[in-house]
Chains A and B, each alone.
Chain A
Amino acid sequence: MDGHIGYYAVFTMLALLEIISAAISLIIAVKAMGIARKIKDKGLFRLGIGYAVMCVALVLGFAAALIALLYPVNPVLQLQEEPRHMEWHHLGGWRHSPWPGDRFGVSWNLVLLASVFFPISYAVILLGLSGEYVRFEQGSGEKLPGLIVAPGLMIGMASDLVSAGLLIGIIILARKGGGSVGPYIVFLASHILRLAGESVGTPLLFLAGEVLRPIALLIVLARVMLG
């Protein structure tokens, strides 16, 4: 995709979405923590911290998209140049890195780092909601597949699985409390798409998941603005 207009279009859109949603999550964090401090509401304060962590993850995602834009690579060529690529195929399968920016470079590592921050943020949000509401239920996890995978991919897949589990918990809890669950459903869909992209090594699914995640925060913004 080096020099291809689609490459630049995708990463420009992703970078914009990530930075806008980082700003939205920062606003949510500041507002929630501000009001929580005044009414001494620990649950709401934790919820704010969760969104602050999410903001860090989104900034990392923005940095990854920006690096992919500034240092474009040809992902197909890069796969062929991967020294142990064919060897791994012969050994029983190779789960390709689904990140077309730079499959094994800095931007991919940033995407993986962001992947770790997301379940942490969901866990803190879940903790916050459990403090806000009297009861809560946690979503169930799933076993990780035992496959030969691209470097770091297990981190991404595990993070998405944990994220999905935590999001199910958040959705159940928010639903029981009568709160809005729309953005969390979009987050969940995003992690499922990312997981599908990681499982089959498909950049299209992975990028769709990446794009969908910031959209969840745009939904929050739209709801606040439109009422």
Chain B
Amino acid sequence: MTRRTKTLSRYRSQAGIVYDILNTIAEEGPTSPTRIMYGARLPYDRLKNMLEHLEEQGLVKKIIEDDRVFYDLTPKGAEVLEELRRVRRLLRSIGIRF
């Protein structure tokens, strides 16, 4: 069991990571990177890169309030999350793990 958990965490799909990040933000509302880090099960440096990438794509927006950073979904991000939910089963069937 330990070995399987280790294997799965070493091999995560990019689409699955994007889904986990967007899903965490959708569930929590404007969210701090720390909350997203736990929700998406990602180390901070990798999460930081992913959030920058998603911000560039216009899927999330950065909000700064009283020196605190939050991330929220953009309408485009919500649309992509919905689409990812719809194709989840299909992607799983062709070898992409979510």
Task: Please report A residues at the B interface, Cβ cutoff 8 Å.
Answer: 27-28, 31-32, 34-36, 38-41, 43-44, 47, 51, 129, 131-135, 170, 173-174, 176-184, 219-220, 223-224, 227
Query: Inside 8 A of B57's CB, which chain A residues have their CB?
Result: 38-40
**Are the C-beta atoms of B91 and A176 separated by less than 8 Å?**
no
B8 proximity list for chain A (CB < 8 A): 177-178
Of the candidates B12, B18, B87, which one forms a contact with A177 in the assembled complex, judged by CB atoms under 8 Å apart? B12
Within the assembled complex, what's the spacing in Å between the Cα atoms of A132 and B12? 8
Question: In the complex, are the beta carbons of B14 and A177 less than 8 A apart?
Answer: no
Residues in B whose Cβ lies below 8 Å from that of A47: 94, 96
- The residue that A180 contacts in the complex, of B13, B80, B94, with Cβ under 8 A, is B94
- For this complex, 7 residue pairs linking A to B, each with C-beta atoms less than 8 Å apart, are A27-B90, A38-B80, A43-B13, A47-B94, A174-B95, A182-B93, A219-B93
Chain A minimum-CB-distance residue to B8 = A178
Give B85 Cβ to nearest chain A Cβ, in Å.
Answer: 11
Contact B83 A38 (CB under 8 A): yes
Q: Closest approach, in angstroms, between the C-beta of B3 and any C-beta of chain A?
A: 12
**Inter-chain contact A227/B15, CB cutoff 8 Å:** no
* B89 close to A (CB within 8 Å): yes
Identify A44's interface contact among B15, B80, B97, CB under 8 A. Answer: B15
B47 contacts the other chain (Cβ, under 8 Å)? no
**Partner pick for A178 among B89, B93, B94, B97, CB 8 A cutoff:** B97
Per DSSP, chain B at the interface is helix
Q: Give complex CA distance A28, B97 in Å.
A: 15
Q: Would you call A131 and B87 a contact (CB within 8 A)? A: no
- A176 contacts which chain B residues (CB < 8 A)? 7, 10-11
Of all chain A residues, the one with the shortest Cβ separation from B4 is A178
Give chain B interface residues in 1-33, CB to chain A under 8 Å. Answer: 7-8, 10-15, 18
With A35-B84, A134-B10 as given contacts, are A177 and B97 in contact (CB-CB < 8 Å)?
yes
B96 touches A35 (CB 8 A): no
Taking CB atoms, residues of chain B closer than 8 Å to A35 are: 15, 80, 83-84, 87, 91
CA distance A129 to B95 in the complex (A): 8
Distance of A220 Cα from B87 Cα, bound (Å): 12
Q: Is the CB of B93 within 8 A of A224?
A: yes
Task: Determine how close the nearest CB of chain A comes to the CB of B89; give it in whole angstroms.
Answer: 5
Q: How far apart sit A19 and B14, CA to CA, in the bound complex (Å)?
A: 31
